[in-house]
Each structure stands twice: as structure tokens, then as C-alpha cells.
Structure 1
Amino acid sequence: MWQALQEFFESTGLYYFFQDDGWKNLVMILISLTLIYLAVFKKFEPYLLIPIGFAMLLVNIPNTGMFVETISIVDGEEVASYSGLLGFLYYGVKLGIYPPLIFLGIGATTDFGPLIANPKSMLLGAAAQVGIFLTFIGAIILGFSGPESASIGIIGGADGPTSILLASRLAPHLIGAISLAAYSYMALVPMIQPPIINLLTTKKERAIKMEQLREVKQTEKVIFPIIVSVVCMTFIPSSAPIIGMLMLGNLIKESNVVPNLTKTAGESLLYIITILLGLSIGATTMGSSFLRLETLMIIALGLFAFSVATASGVLGGKVMCKLTHGKVNPMIGAAGVSAVPMAARVVHIEGQKNDPNNYLLMHAMGPNVAGVIGSAIAAGLFLMFFM
């Protein structure tokens, strides 16, 4: 009788919690509950943190078999295969399917009008990418490999799907930590950016009002995604999955002839893929592989990347302010990170704190959508060098 009870106990997940790595699973379960709390009650990126947090909970309850990774040797090389419900869903990340489809949905909901109306804002989107490359160098110095450093650096773009796609290609063993860091800092944009903006700008600069943008014609909006696709993919072919899907989604939207496709791509498809992507990310956060020193280093480097990206964007805005003799509010440079539209909203709110009649949202959207393109190009460059 006692032996039967002992065998039953050892077959439960509860038994595993008392083994050597069991405490790691308990810690990850607490983290998963924290993510769910932040998503539900604090509304931090709820669309992604709820599936990520719950998948994290599922895989850290021992013996569920929800995500099983098997390593086999093929032609002298290690090859990973996956099983279990979340394991099968993870193939969408491993094969690079989910992130481009996310970009298809983003394109269908993005208005590139502010960028077309003010092409100079593309420079601010480029300036904000400095954080990516400085963090890449910093990660190299700290001992990460080139592909790992590239995957960590891209967190500075504040672009979750791009971070996931690059990590899945260059450093799949780090995808959980990189994804979690990227989406966490995206959610914390309203907390991280204002202190940096206020530190680097004067009250007079923050109060600068900008001229109203010109009206952009539909023809321009239709031609724009085609031109961007041709130029970007010609010079950086490896950016095709991200840029191609982003611009296809935008072309569908701006054509005004396929409203059902626009609605499907921007709503149903986007939310379905978001669920699948969130579950796949959460599945990679098992305590035994996630709770390591390098995870803490990645989270710290991610914060550094995002902070530097914000600062470099603001400094780029200050340069543009000087060159235009005070016609550009330097705060809009902070929106050069690709957290759309959160970063643009932060800039707008900071502007209204100084002057309630200062409307910067549309001006900030130019660098904001430019940042999406910029981070995709940066990812393409890393893929070109390390694949």
C-alpha cells in the first residue's frame, strides 16, 4: 500500500518540485502569475502577456508534456524537435511563420501618411536604431557570440515580432528571455521614456509647436509600400519576410478596394497569430533553461538598448531642431523606436504637459512608423551577416 502511494506521488508533478531544479519551476510559476496580474489588472500588453504568462504556467507544471524538446544527432549536428501541444505550435516560431504574419496585420492597421508627409522623420527613426548597434557591441564585450549579440541588440528596436524572428534564426536558445524582455519594455514605454525625454530636453524645447502636416493623397499611400519593398529588399534581401509582409498589409489597407481583407488581416488574423505567438514564447520559459545568469544579462542589456534608442532618437531630434531653427520639437525623436503607437502617445502626452494646446501625435507617428521599418532593416542586416 505504502509503495503504491509512493509510486503515485512520484508520478505527480508535486514530486518534481522537491527535486534539484524543482525550485526553478516554482519561481517561473510565480513569474507567470505576475505577468498575468500585470496584463489583467495593470493592462500591460494584455494581448501578449496573457497567453505568454499562461503558457509559462503550463510548461512549468511538471510532467504535463505540453512542450517537449528532443535533441538528436544528425550528421554530427544537434537537431531539436518538438512535441506536445505547445511544442507543435512552436514550429510556427522556429520556421519563421508567426512574426511575418504579425507584420501583415500591423501593416493593415498602420497609417504611413505622417511619414510620407514629413520624409525627414525617417532620419529620426534611423537615429533611434543606434541603441540596437551599441547594445550589440556591449553584448559582444560581455561574452555573447555574434548571433546572440545581434538577437539581444534588436530588443532596442522595441519591436517584439522582429526580436522573435531574429532570435528564432540566430539564437533560438535565447528566444524566451529575448521575447519576454522585448515585450516587457514595450509595455513599460510610458514609464521608461518620459524621464529620458525630460532629462535631454529643456522646457522650451518641449513646448515647441510644429506646423500641421500636409494632406497625403491616396496615390502616394499606394505607391509608398511598393517603393519601400523594392528599395529595402533590393539592398537587404534578408529583410524580405518582415518588410514584405508589413508593406503587403499596408497596401491592402490603402488600396481601399478590399475592405474584408483589411479587416481580416488587421483584426482576426492578427489576434489569432498573437495568441499562437504568445503561447509559443511562453512555452520556451521552462525554469531549468530560463533561470540562468545570461537571462538576467539579457534583460539588463534590453533595458540599456531601449534607453539608448530613446536617448539617441531625442538627440537626433535636437539636432533637427537646431537645423530647422526651432521648427521641430526634439521629443518626437523618442518615438523613433517602433513601439507603435505607444511611443508616439508618450511624446504627445509629454508635449501637452508643457502646453495643453500642443498636439504632437501625428508628428510623432512619422518617426514611430519609420522605426518599424528601421528595426526591420537592422534585423535584415544582422541576418545578412550571421546566417
Structure 2
Amino acid sequence: MIYLDNSATTKPHPEVLKSFEQVSTNFFANPSSIHQLGGDTEKLLIKSKQQIANLLQVKDDEIIFTSGGTEGNNIAIKGIALQHQGRGKHIITTEIEHPSVFEACKSLESLGFQVTYLPVNRDGIVSVEDVESAITNETILISVMHVNNEIGTIQPVKEIGELAKKHPKLFFHVDHVQGLGKLDLQLNDSGIDLCTMSGHKIHGLKGTGVLYCRSGVKLFPLFHGGEQEFKVRSGTENLAGAVSFVKALRLIKERQKNQVQQLQALSQYLRQELKKIDEIMINTPENAAPHIVNFSIPGLKPEVMIHTLGKQGIFISTKSACSSKDLDESRIVKACGYDSTRSKSALRVSLSYDNTMEEIRIFVSKLKEALNQLKDVME
């Protein structure tokens, strides 16, 4: 099997699974219980939060455990909107956000909020000047992702953070789900108020994640109940999931430090080989994140290629797994200004530190074979 769909999800690391099993077996009590086992469980939860804070170089009380990227993005965006609507009801985002940001903003429009969806250039990058021009006295939130999940574009979040610092009335949220473990992102004193991360994108477990929430930032909770996680995210804590996230985060940061150049080499080789194939048009810009290469084969339905390669044990995808069942068109590729023949035929290869050069060579070879076989069905 050659797995090249790591932006959808990654294979859990054995040590992550081991940590989850050990905690589930030995610390299964409710952290809110007042008996000794509950107390020991709570101590481990606090320790997990401290360890994540140390790895991210932030404060312990700035870490909120979540079930992943979608929940984190919704807590951040809706939490700010509902808590601070008295200041204003204007939100700024981009046209190429993940569905969990894009649809959260759409839902707020139905509640009377005004949302500005900024365009991107051909490379899928938003202009900092456009962000600045969009800010009004009513603006309470800017939400811009770090790395695009479909085409790998890196957004200028550092510069937008500096811009946000000049406007203390508004908050800045970054979806860091695809960037985590591939690109560094400073949170402390960055202008970033909220930042979303997910466990299953870094060889952790599905249902685990973290929302960084800068000290002093107040959110309206989407869940009400036992007031866990600083009253922001009620519900019995997933301690085993939290510990497994710590393990996954520590491991991916080590791999980023030691293997990111290897990942870049794989990506560069893949791009070079794809450029040699006449039928292929590459949608991912040159200076993108090291793990995503998006390309189109105009005239060929993406699912046909995906199923052809899948029969040979090679797994790639079309777009965000959250929207890939809707195969009509890539909203992201379209937003970059490409025509429908390109946006309707986009494919995504997403790498991990587990992938090898040999796997990429085999993929390119099988892709060429499949193209020859499928020429008859191309429009």
C-alpha cells in the first residue's frame, strides 16, 4: 500500500496508540471525581496541558482540549462572534478556508453577522493589504488559515498578526491544522489570539485536538454543562486522547526538526516528474508547504483516476475529505482563478514523514500507466 492522502488523515503512530491504551486502562476515572483515582486522573490532565503548553511555548491556561479541527474552528469563530457581538458584527476571512471555517462563517450570516470573504491570487495567497482595507469599526474577528488543505498555500499569518496587534478591538484566529508539524508558527506575542490544531493530522488519534486561546480572550461556549476546560468546552475530558495528543505533538515536532528536508525533497521530485507529463497542470505554487501537491488532469474526472490507482493500492484524493463526496468542483482551485476544466479535475497528493522516494517513483510510474489506460475516457 502507498498512502498519499495524509492531509485527510494520518496513520496513528504506535507510541500514540500505546499511550492511549495505557491511560485508558490505568486512569479511566472522571477527572472531576473527588476520590483518589479521580484526583490522580485530574493531575495527569493538568500535566498533559502543561506539556502541550511547553511544546507550543504558551501558558498552561491557554490550552483547551477539543475533538479536533472542526470543533476548534467552530468554538473559536462562533465563540468570539457570540461573546463580542456588542462590539460589532463584522468578520473577515478568505475564499479558500476549510469548510469548518467557511460554513461556520456562513452560519453566522444567518444570525445577522456580516462576513467579508477576501479573494486570493493565482497562488491562493490573500493580500495583507486587502485584509487591512477590509477592517472597519465593526470588525471583531479575522480568521485566516496557515496552510491550505487542498493546494498547500502558505498564508502570511505572521504579517496579519502584526496587523491585528494594531487593532486591539478585533481578534485573530488561525486554522493551523495543516501546518502543524510541517511549518513553525509562533503563538506567543504574535497577534494570534486563537489557533486550532488537530491530532489525527500528525499521526495522533481522531477525536483529539487543541484550541490555543490567548489569556484574557473570552469565548461564548457552544456547550454548556459541567464547565470543564475553563467553562469553554463542557463535557467529561478525554484524558487518554489528551495524553495521546501530547505524544503525537512531541513526536511530530522531532520529525519536523530532523526530516522536513527529506519531505521537501519528496515534494520537489514529485513536482518535477509531474511537470514532464503533458496532460497534467500543477495547481500548488512553488513556495507551498512541503507535504501537499495538487494538480489537475483536464478532461478526466478525478474519481476515475482515484479508483484506478486505488485498485493498485495507491491512495490519493480530490480535495478536503470533509467535502470530497461533493465531486463537482474544487472551491479552492476555482478561487485561485482557474477555469472549471481545471477546478473540476483537481487531484491532491499529500505526504507524510513516513513516505519514501521509492513510493513516489512508483506512484509517478503508475500514474503514467493509468493516464495511458484512461485516454479513451478523457473528454
Fold-level similarity (TM above 0.5): no
Q: What TM-score comes out, normalization by structure 1 length?
A: 0.26
Which has more helix, going by share of residues? 1
TM-score by length of 2: 0.26
More contact order relative to length (CA 8 Å, sep ≥ 6): 1
